[in-house]
Amino acid sequence: MTESSIIYTHTDEAPALATYSFLPVLQAYAATAGVRVETRDISLAGRILAAFPERLAPGQRADDDLAELGRLATSPEANIIKLPNISASVPQLKAAIAELQDQGYPVPDFPDDPQGEDERDVRARYDKILGSAVNPVLRQGNSDRRAPASVKSYARAHPHRMGPWSPESRTRVAHMDADDFRSTERSAVLAAAGSLRIELVTDDRRTIVLREAVPVLEGEIVDAAVMRAAALQRFLRDQVEQAKSEDLLLSVHLKATMMKVSDPIIFGHAVRAFFPKTFAEHGEALAAAGLRANDGLGAIFTGLDALDGGAAIRASFDAELAAGPALAMVDSDRGVTNLHVPSDVIVDASMPAMIRASGHMWGPDGEERDTLAVIPDSSYAGVYQVVVDDCRANGAFDPATLGSVPNVGLMAQAAEEYGSHDKTFEIPAAGTVRVVGTGGEVLLEHTVAAGDIFRMCQTKDVPIRDWVKLAVDRARATGDPVVFWLDEQRAHDANVIAKVTAYLAEHDTTGLEISIMAPERATALSLERIRRGENTISATGNVLRDYLTDLFPIMELGTSAKMLSIVPLLSGGGLFETGAGGSAPKHVQQLLEQGHLRWDSLGEFLALAASFEHLAHRTGNVRAQILADTLDRATATYLFEDRSPRRAVGTLDNRGSHFYLAMYWARELASQDADAELAKAFGELARALGEHEQAIVDELAAAQGTPTDIGGYYHPDTAKATAAMRPSATFNDALTLLG
């Protein structure tokens, strides 16, 4: 790429389909400013293909675009638009592998229990693709997430629906009080750079090296924590009993995608806790057939069809389902429970959705009910309980009057929990896990039992310093108070607080309101202020950043996809993320079945304006700044003219919203005075789009109402997807007016 290039990532599911429609518009408009918009494939399928070049024919091979972008993210030339991608669970990965194999790509099966050197190599490659494989590579900077003024104004003028709360609501959050990651955490600050070794010294005096070498830097914070399996099982069984006795829906909320090692294991414990008799009687048969609790009921039920005695095992599952508490449902019409697929219930999206819906989730009967929301680790579960208590006491939030809680997030260089994947282990034998320093000294250690989950996390010093600076800059730019969500009683946070305090002293904070509070207290303060219409900047670590940039935007805006998400990279480049939401698989399902895609590309529009502005400032490209300014104004018109996609077939969908954004943007460019040549070129396009508006809308509407074939879910056929997402010949022809 060049300094005048923008990288637009090709990802997965709904945002990937939207890209087929919007990218031609973007490339045509950007070219008028001499800006080249290039694509790089970081989709799940693309990453699978890139991992096995030696197994593919030359025409099937894919470049390792994620690795390329990882290198680019450390250079000052970086200008990357990052759309949401699948953070794959094992079932999703297996489904993508099967689809590629059906399409003729000879990628290997995923080995659940790798045997031999070849299978271990295959598993190691796939492990790098699972979970949050993309974000740690690209996020070489801290994040600035906020609701743009135009979006906030629209949300207040057109408030979304919030379910009413009753003071008698029995919904609550349950978490462990001991023996979890939060309570067992130990932390150290490293005095010198070097390398750490993670080893298990078993009770029978064997030494098992879990990780041979973990590079570390001077001043880095290193944490070690363990979730004890026996305590987790007791806790989960207690919650099943509590939900049953209190007549509450039971739901388990984890992040089995991003936390790709620890949380699928915890999910598996939840499945076993709900079905103790079935696993006691049939666990060995299930394991022998490769049917794992970690993969969820959906995978198990599918596999039972081919298993001798499968009908009896299914009957046992059904009996325990009937005898236990009602499970919260992902899809009650199709019988998909909270425990079917580990990637179906992601805590940062599922908990705000529950809070927005009166504290209810859907039961097996299709009715809403009060819920026992189980979040095993206590690190941040209390944040959601504070919100539940606030809604029970004060009622639902009113988007028409709410303030805002923007976020400055510490995430650079795989900070905190998100960097733990290659340092998280399910312990094979009782003993002591030790983190050993360069000189052989034991820095951190934990006594463990077989089945316990150990993890080590790292947080480097440079990202913390940059995070503090970004928070101070946002406070000064906005005049809003900043709260660092840190708990002095937690080992890791205590070390971060010491650094924050030191680095705040490097800045002029005169007149700024900056404080440090434990997460529950910070939540209560933010809620009190947001209800008064006031703004409070949250400065948080990596996981809390994810949680809060779904929680508060869903209350304020109805969706986290409308957030502006900027990552000023440490190298001076820019990463611009399109909202904080996921990749919307249900949207794809509707397109495939009904020809209607309700994905809203507002996040893409917001990120692009920031990207053009960054490019203009870096290169002096005046036309890029014009594109940024006019896109901002066009986006405001898009909002207030209510051109966002609708849910129902036959109404405006994603393709129609792209047309209207293109028309409003062309009008803004045609009416600007800074560049007459540019105004003339877009004047012709604006006239064409305006004159043919009804014809274009009719052509787009005609594409709806019937099933759509895109040639693949994880790996669509380019020609078929393009035809599906660009069905208006009139619109397509008009874009050629730009040359």
Cα separation, 174 vs 250, whole angstroms: 10
Amino acid at 468: V
Quick one: average pLDDT of 713-738?
97
The per-residue pLDDT for 581 is 63
**DSSP notation for 225-240:** EEE-HHHHHHHHHHHH
Q: Model confidence at 131, in pLDDT bands (50, 70, 90)?
A: confident
Digit-coded pLDDT (tens) for 271-312: 999 999 999 999 999 999 999 999 999 999 999 988 989 999
Collect all residues with Cβ–Cβ distance below 8 Å to 434 and sequence separation of at least 6.
Answer: 198, 199, 200, 201, 442, 444, 445
Buried b / exposed e over 561-588, threshold 16 CB at 10 Å, is bbbbbbbbbbeebbbbbbbbbbbbeebb
Digit-coded pLDDT (tens) for 359-413: 999 999 999 999 999 999 999 999 999 999 999 999 999 999 999 999 999 999 9
The per-residue pLDDT for 580 is 62
Quick one: average pLDDT of 623-629?
97
Whether the Cβ atoms of residue 597 and residue 654 lie closer than 8 Å to each other: yes
Q: What secondary structure, in 3-state letters, does 125-180 show?
A: HHHCCCECCCHHHHCCECEEEECCHHHHHHHHHCCCCCCCCCCCCCCEEECCCCCC
Percentage of the chain beyond pLDDT 70 is 99
Quick one: average pLDDT of 124-146?
90
Instruction: List the alpha helices (DSSP H) in 215-324.
Output: 229-246, 262-274, 276-288, 297-304, 310-323
Q: What distance separates the 2 farthest-apart alpha carbons in the chain?
A: 81
The residues with which 144 forms a beta bridge, in sequence order, are 408, 566
54 CB neighbour count, 10 Å cutoff: 5
Quick one: average pLDDT of 483-494?
97
Residue 444: is its pLDDT beyond 90?
yes
Buried b / exposed e over 533-559, threshold 16 CB at 10 Å, is eebbbbbbbbbbbbbbbbbbbbbbbbb
Percentage of the chain beyond pLDDT 90 is 91
**DSSP notation for 76-143:** TT-EEEE-----B-HHHHHHHHHHHHHTT--PPPP-SS--HHHHHHHHHHHHTTSBSSSHHHH--B-E
Digit-coded pLDDT (tens) for 52-76: 999 999 999 999 999 999 999 999 9
Q: Model confidence at 467, in pLDDT bands (50, 70, 90)?
A: very high
Amino acid at 379: S
Digit-coded pLDDT (tens) for 173-224: 999 999 999 999 999 999 999 999 999 999 999 999 999 999 999 999 999 9
Length of the chain: 739
441 CB neighbour count, 10 Å cutoff: 9
- Is 577 or 562 the better-scoring residue by pLDDT? 577
The per-residue pLDDT for 133 is 85
Quick one: average pLDDT of 659-674?
97
Whether the Cβ atoms of residue 18 and residue 73 lie closer than 8 Å to each other: no
What are the helix and strand counts (H, E) for the chain? 27, 24
Closest CA to 585 of 81, 51, 92: 92
71-75 long-range Cβ contacts below 8 angstroms, 24+ apart: 72/1, 72/7, 72/573, 73/137, 73/138, 73/139, 73/140, 73/141, 73/569, 73/571, 73/573, 73/575, 74/140, 74/569, 74/570, 74/571, 75/571, 75/573
**Arithmetic mean of pLDDT over the chain:** 95
Residue 652: is its pLDDT beyond 70?
yes
Residue 549: is its pLDDT beyond 70?
yes
- H or E, element range at 577: strand 574-578
The per-residue pLDDT for 183 is 97
Digit-coded pLDDT (tens) for 325-339: 999 999 988 999 999
CA angle 363, 367, 370 (to 5 degrees): 65
Residue 128: is its pLDDT beyond 80?
yes
- Is 3 or 367 the better-scoring residue by pLDDT? 367
Residue 701: is its pLDDT beyond 90?
yes
The per-residue pLDDT for 583 is 85
